[in-house]
Amino acid sequence: MQGNGTKIGFIVAFLAMSVYYLWPTIANTLEQNYIEDLPEAERTEYVEENAQRLQNLREESLSLGLDLQGGMHVTLEVGTPQLILELAGDYADETLEEVINIADQRALENNTDFIEEMVTVFEEKYPDARLSRYYRSDAQDITRRSSNEEIEEYLKNQRDSAVDRAMEIIRTRVDRYGVTEPAIFVQGNNRVVVELPGVANKERIRDLLKGTARLEFRLTATPDQISNARERVVNYYSELASDTTDTTLQQNNGQNPLTQVLATQTRNAYSFGYAAGRDTARVNELLQRSEVQDLMPRNVQLMWGASPFSETPQGQELFELIGVRPEAEMTGEVIEEASVNFDEATNQPRVSMNMDSEGARQWSRITGANIGKPIAIVLDGYVYSYPNVESKIASGRSSISGLENVQEAEDLVNILLSGALPASLEIIEERTVGATLGEASIQAGFYSTLIGLIIVAIFMIIYYHAGGAIADLALLLNIIFILGILAAFNATLTLPGIAGIVLTIGMAVDANVLIFDRIREEQRTGKTLRAAIDGGYSNAMSAIVDANVTTFFVGIILYSFGVGPIKGFAVTLMAGIVASLFSAIVITRVVVDYLTQEKSAEISFG
Amino acid sequence: MRWFETPDFNFLKAHKIGYVVSGILLAAALIGILTKGLQYGIDFKGGKTFVLQFEDPVEVQDIRSELAEPLGGAPEVKFYGSPEEVLIRTDNPDDITTVQNAITGAMGQLYPDNPNQVIKTDIVGPRFAEDLKRGAVNAIIFALIVIFIYILIRFKDWTYSAGAVAALFHDVLIVLGVFTLLSDIVPFSLQIDQAIIAAFLTIVGYSLNDTVVVFDRIRENSLLYKTMDYDEMINKSLNDTLSRTVITSVTTFFVVAVLFLFGGEVLRGFSFALMLGVVIGTYSSLFIASSMVIELNKRQQKS
């Protein structure tokens, strides 16, 4: 019996700790059930009165994965090639672009770091040149003389800070959106993962995450330039339409493919034409042709209006294509404050902005020089409005109208204030699970665990009699331990995680099976019960250790390679192994020893 | 209750049958994989999947043809656990929102009186898919190396390591083959995705668990019965541990089967892989791993 005191101490401590860490989860579940049963009127009052306490409970509870509570998981990638090109600024040339393109391709094929590949490609192609010709900058401690290694270091730092900044900006945006317990973290060297439990409006989140918030104030092109451009492009397609050899424009029956989708009877002198929402992509495609690009005057760029200006009787929303200057007069960095208010005349929401002093000075100059002409307010490549300048604006105030609703206005303010993203962000993975599916999964997981547990428990008693009952007790405690470990490590319970627990139930009895089978063997050799028990436990040990260590290794590997739910599975698998070893070896031994204290004691292992 | 009280099976004789059985299974698996190719899910292929829940049962065929035009090519459409739920997979490269609107729009036209809602979406970009695939391959290779080394250290004999790893290859290949061959036949998805890789690694862990217990007994018996013939000693070890092997496999199979039946559609493919894995892993521990050790030992002694 020696040492059993210590063992019992361990068991009690382990159990107490598990219960301690699980308590908030239990309390939270009880509270939620209580709240659900309350009548509607009392419910709100109760929730308000206990808001703080309820929130604490929720935060300390074992958290559920998105697959169990519903929500959205998004992985965003910071566009490194683009960032590196932009960093070169005015020094960028075709050579650099080519190097970047080759490096991008290689990095993808070889799964290597893009910046390292870029340096390699550059050195291969231009052994006598230095990258510093593109990246010299006194402010950054790199000069013309900097070595390629120094530039590599510099570029990596720039990328890291771009990723950090992207993460911070996303955090600000998401926080203001009001998601409970969002998780935002960096993965690898250029990815940001965003997990948003319980989010229903996916589209809004996508816009919020991807909005680069590049705000520009641009002059419009002159009416002459716009009408000239239109004439040339329309003529080009008229000629092309009669040319039947061009197969890219088939099935047009000789009609002008552009005017089929774009109305050219314009709304005003600055508009190039308009199209239905579903046709805008086709219009873009037609305008993107290199022949068409060559026809366009250099100082005209066409941009779509952000919101429809009208609807057809059939309910098709119509969007306008506006001619603006290719370069921005001013960008959004000067914006200091932004808020939502309403246009007094139309009662439409709009976003009012205040500029800093430098911005106000510039704004005053620009507006002063363009009285009577429109200035386009462009956000992320869409024209929100292009009001006529009535008079010189010295206050540094401006506003964006043409917003669909208050929600859009609020999101815009949020994006403007959190700042522009340092580089383009692309959604490379997105997974969403509806709340009802999540709930169904919890139920499925719960019942699977319960049924699995009952089947194994009954089987063990039938097969090992008293020994089986002891193993069942250990199994029960085992599950409490696993949940306790998960709660203590702040792990998230996912559906594969529950599968891991279920699997552990099946495998957890393995250690006891090894021990009990061994005890039976020892008994067959004629040993006394006590001696057989001692022999059973000690002889089975090496097999138990080997078997579990190998599975534990697999858990570690799964954890380090897997993402999301797979990690959850790996964590429960590992927690399960630790917990089941403890229960199967220590707990059952204490119980067996206790039951066989008397020399004459009988205990059946089947 | 007692099964296999003092079993005395001649596993060595059975090994010959084992070779034949495994040979046939492996050949079928390889042929299946080579002719049909591995059926990757969107995790490793990239693409977009949407799970739609309708109020009343729908027809997969109708949905597929209705979507062919708006999506520019007929998508994969499958039932997702019930006749009211369908999974739609498409490679359409458009914006997520655009694709989803196209799908819900077309469904509104096809089933005007049977409203639907999107209950699950998974979108994986092609580059990200490539990364996930590489990660999965690395994980499997890494797992096999770690296991080889661990067994080498514990048993101080490379033939054990080789036997165990050969058994693992055997198990994974066969399960992979079954997945490929059955993927169009069974009413649930058997595409290879991240969860399936997790299942494979778990199978590796489980099969190894079984194998190691047998090896452990071989090591013990080889010290106890020094004069016993090597083959006979291995046969005895297999018989000694047979009861445990069967019991553990039975309990594990029970719970995995429960997971398969009641765990929901999301875990269907995963638990199916585990079910197959438990059966094949147990079989390979009894008939493949130890016979590999015997063979390798014989060769070693000859040379």
| Tokens found for residue B261 | 């039946």
Please give the CATH superfamily to which domain A5-62+434-595 belongs: Multidrug efflux transporter AcrB transmembrane domain (1.20.1640.10)
- Check CB contact under 8 Å for A503 and B154: no
Checking phi first, is residue A413 left (phi over 0); if not, alpha (psi -120 to 50) or beta?
A: alpha
B2 assigned to some structural domain: no
Residues A507, A580: contact at Cβ < 8 Å? yes
Nearest neighbour of B248 by CB, restricted to A440, A510, A524? A510
Nearest neighbour of A499 by CB, restricted to B1, B118, B259? B259
Look at residue A42 in the predicted model and tell me its pLDDT.
85
- Check CB contact under 8 Å for B255 and A456: yes
Distance separating alpha carbons of residues B247 and B238, to the nearest angstrom: 14
What single DSSP character describes residue A332?
A: G
Beta strand segments in B57-133, E: 76-79, 85-90, 116-124
Indicate whether B112 and B238 sit together in one domain: no
Distance separating alpha carbons of residues B120 and A437, to the nearest angstrom: 8
Q: How far is B123 from chain A (nearest CA, A)?
A: 5
Indicate whether B273 and B187 sit together in one domain: yes
Nearest neighbour of A566 by CB, restricted to B195, B212, B217? B195
Residues of B in contact with A513 (CB under 8 A): 244, 247-248, 251
The pLDDT tens digits of the residues spanning B95-107 come to 888 888 889 889 9
Look at residue B237 in the predicted model and tell me its pLDDT.
92
| A42 C-beta neighbours (distance < 10 Å), count | 10
- Check CB contact under 8 Å for B258 and A502: yes
Reference B193, options B129, B123, B142, B139; nearest CA is B129
Nearest neighbour of A437 by CB, restricted to B120, B125, B247? B120
Residues of B in contact with A519 (CB under 8 A): none
Window 110-129 of B: residues touching A by CB (8 A cutoff) are 117-125, 127-128
Indicate whether B112 and B182 sit together in one domain: no
Nearest neighbour of B254 by CB, restricted to A452, A521, A549? A452
Indicate whether B65 and B147 sit together in one domain: no
How many structural domains comprise chain B? Answer: 2
Distance separating alpha carbons of residues A98 and A331, to the nearest angstrom: 29
B53 assigned to some structural domain: yes
- Check CB contact under 8 Å for B121 and A557: no
For an interface test with B, the pick among A513, A516, A548 (most B C-beta atoms closer than 10 Å) comes out as: A513
- Check CB contact under 8 Å for B134 and A111: yes
- Complex prediction ipTM: 0.89
Look at residue A140 in the predicted model and tell me its pLDDT.
67
B62 touches chain A (CB under 8 A): no
Look at residue A353 in the predicted model and tell me its pLDDT.
87
Indicate whether B81 and B119 sit together in one domain: yes
Residues B254, A455: contact at Cβ < 8 Å? yes
Indicate whether B279 and B153 sit together in one domain: yes
Residues of A in contact with B119 (CB under 8 A): 433-434, 436-437
Look at residue A5 in the predicted model and tell me its pLDDT.
86
Which CATH number belongs to the domain containing residue B171 in this structure? 1.20.1640.10
Distance separating alpha carbons of residues A145 and A157, to the nearest angstrom: 19
Task: Give CA angle at A483 (A480, A485), nearest 5°.
Answer: 105
Nearest neighbour of A554 by CB, restricted to B204, B250, B263? B204
Residues B193, B44: contact at Cβ < 8 Å? yes
Amino acid at site A95? T
Distance separating alpha carbons of residues A347 and A340, to the nearest angstrom: 12
Nearest neighbour of A506 by CB, restricted to B201, B213, B254? B254
B34 assigned to some structural domain: yes
Q: In what order do the strands lie in the sheet with A71-78?
A: A183-187, A191-197, A71-78, A425-433, B116-124, B47-54, B85-90, B76-79
Distance separating alpha carbons of residues B210 and A545, to the nearest angstrom: 12
Taking residues B166-183, what's their average pLDDT? 91
Distance separating alpha carbons of residues B294 and B300, to the nearest angstrom: 10
Helix residue ranges per DSSP H, A317-385? 357-369
| Pairwise pLDDT comparison (B74 vs A248), residue with the higher score | B74
Residues of A in contact with B141 (CB under 8 A): none
- Check CB contact under 8 Å for A514 and B243: no
Residues B60, B208: contact at Cβ < 8 Å? no
Which CATH number belongs to the domain containing residue B95 in this structure? 3.30.70.3400
Indicate whether B25 and B159 sit together in one domain: yes
Please identify which residue in the block is written with the tokens 């552990």: A504
- Averaged in consecutive runs of 10 residues, what is the pLDDT profile of chain A (606 residues)? 79 94 92 87 85 85 88 90 84 88 88 90 90 77 83 89 84 77 87 88 80 81 91 86 62 74 85 87 84 86 87 83 90 83 84 88 90 86 84 84 78 74 81 90 92 94 93 93 92 88 86 92 90 93 88 88 79 91 91 86 80
Look at residue B67 in the predicted model and tell me its pLDDT.
92
Look at residue A420 in the predicted model and tell me its pLDDT.
66
Percent of chain B with pLDDT over 70: 99
Q: In sequence order, which residues have a C-beta less than 8 Å from that of residue A167 and are 6 or more positions away?
A: A184, A185, A186, A192
Indicate whether B86 and B159 sit together in one domain: no
Is residue B5's pLDDT more than 80?
no
Indicate whether B135 and B283 sit together in one domain: yes
Return the residue of A nearest to B119 by Cα: A434
Angle of the B126-155 helix axis to the B194-224 helix axis, nearest 10: 10
B60 assigned to some structural domain: yes
B236 assigned to some structural domain: yes
| Tokens found for residue A556 | 């570690």
| Pairwise pLDDT comparison (B58 vs A247), residue with the higher score | B58
Q: How far is A218 from chain B (nearest CA, A)?
A: 28
Look at residue A212 in the predicted model and tell me its pLDDT.
67
Q: For the whole model, what pTM was predicted?
A: 0.79
Q: How many CB pairs under 8 A join A and B?
A: 222
Indicate whether B57 and B33 sit together in one domain: no
Residue that finishes a domain, picked among B79, B108, B124 = B124
- Check CB contact under 8 Å for B122 and A431: yes
Indicate whether B25 and B83 sit together in one domain: no
Return the residue of A nearest to B211 by Cα: A547
Residues A323, A302: contact at Cβ < 8 Å? yes
Reference A435, options A145, A72, A71; nearest CA is A71
| Tokens found for residue A251 | 């099935």
Indicate whether B93 and B231 sit together in one domain: no
Q: How far is A130 from chain B (nearest CA, A)?
A: 30
Q: Which residues of B118-131 are buried (b: 16+ CB within 10 A; e: fewer)?
A: bbbbbbbbeebbbb
Does residue A596 sit in helix, strand or coil?
A: coil
Residues B97, A281: contact at Cβ < 8 Å? no
Distance separating alpha carbons of residues A490 and A479, to the nearest angstrom: 17
Q: What is the widest separation between alpha-carbon atoms in chain B?
A: 81
B4 assigned to some structural domain: no
| Tokens found for residue A525 | 């050799």
- Check CB contact under 8 Å for A428 and B264: no
Task: Give CA angle at A151 (A147, A153), nearest 5°.
Answer: 115
Distance separating alpha carbons of residues B165 and B159, to the nearest angstrom: 10
B115 assigned to some structural domain: yes
Reference A321, options A375, A373, A267, A278; nearest CA is A267
Residues A209, A203: contact at Cβ < 8 Å? no
- Check CB contact under 8 Å for A547 and B212: yes
Residues of A in contact with B134 (CB under 8 A): 111
- Check CB contact under 8 Å for B150 and A553: yes
B178 touches chain A (CB under 8 A): no
The pLDDT tens digits of the residues spanning A46-87 come to 888 888 888 888 888 888 888 888 999 999 998 889 888 888
DSSP per position, B178-195: HHHHHTTTSSS---B-HH
- Check CB contact under 8 Å for B146 and A521: no
Q: What is the mean pLDDT of chain A?
A: 86
B5 assigned to some structural domain: no
Residue A112 CA, chain-centre distance (Å), reads 23
Task: Give CA angle at B274 (A488, A498), nearest 5°.
Answer: 25
Distance separating alpha carbons of residues B13 and B5, to the nearest angstrom: 21
Backbone angles phi, psi at A311, to 5 degrees: -130, 150
Supply the range of the domain harboring residue B266: 11-40+128-302
- Check CB contact under 8 Å for A108 and B130: yes
What single DSSP character describes residue B76?
A: E
Residues A393, A364: contact at Cβ < 8 Å? yes
Distance separating alpha carbons of residues B182 and B190, to the nearest angstrom: 8
Return the residue of B nearest to A466 by Cα: B1
| Tokens found for residue B64 | 């597929």
Q: How far is A138 from chain B (nearest CA, A)?
A: 36
The pLDDT tens digits of the residues spanning B224-266 come to 988 888 888 989 999 999 999 999 999 999 999 999 999 988 8
Residues of B in contact with A521 (CB under 8 A): 240
Reference A177, options A342, A425, A407, A420; nearest CA is A407
